[in-house]
Amino acid sequence: GPLGVRLIALTCEGQDFGLASRYVSEVALCPDPQDSGAFAQYLLSRAPGWHGALILDTEDVYTAALSRSKSQLEGSYFLLAPDWPAAETFLEKDRTAQVANAVGIPYPATYSAVTAATLEAHMDDYIFPVMLKPVHSQEFAGRFGRKLFVVQDKDELRSRFAEATAANQPVILQ
């Protein structure tokens, strides 16, 4: 904004975080970025009027859509979204702990590929509260309206895990 770069806030719901920036010059209703193809086509159709605009990804779902379509879009826009292979590593939360471990960055105790059997096998190891985190944040948030479950005890953990499993949402536990 202070440098004169045009900022356009895209929203599929009208309540996204980035809409509040004082530097936003325009707000546009776009297709749901979970359909990254439709989202990219929308941006390409708007490129003649928006050429050179900066697109900031303020949520994981936008990061995923922009990263997947980056090569198509970067001729028309300024994008801060990383290339898809890098974005995918950090958007899929089970891979983030693996990367941290590989480079020696401390991270909370993490149980990946959680199943009902592994959940029960380690139940006495957990120090509550724990976080039940989705592997695919954007899908989980769309389904549950939150980014993760903070769980206070064993019974709630079993219940929340069952909810995630019923919704076909793989999770990790931290």
Q: pLDDT tens, 12-64?
A: 887 766 677 888 888 889 999 989 999 999 999 999 999 988 887 878 888 99
Higher pLDDT, 110 or 84: 84
- What's the chain's average pLDDT? 88
Tokens 């120090």, residue located: 127
Residue 98: per-residue pLDDT: 80
Residue 17: per-residue pLDDT: 65
Reported confidence tier of residue 84, pLDDT bands at 50, 70, 90: very high
Reported confidence tier of residue 141, pLDDT bands at 50, 70, 90: confident
The rounded percent of the chain whose pLDDT value lies above 90 is 47
Q: What is the pTM of this model?
A: 0.67
Give the C-alpha distances (Å, rounded to integers) separating 159 from 4, 152, 154, 155, 156: 50, 11, 9, 6, 5
Q: How many CB atoms lie within 10 A of CB 113?
A: 10
Residue 60: per-residue pLDDT: 84
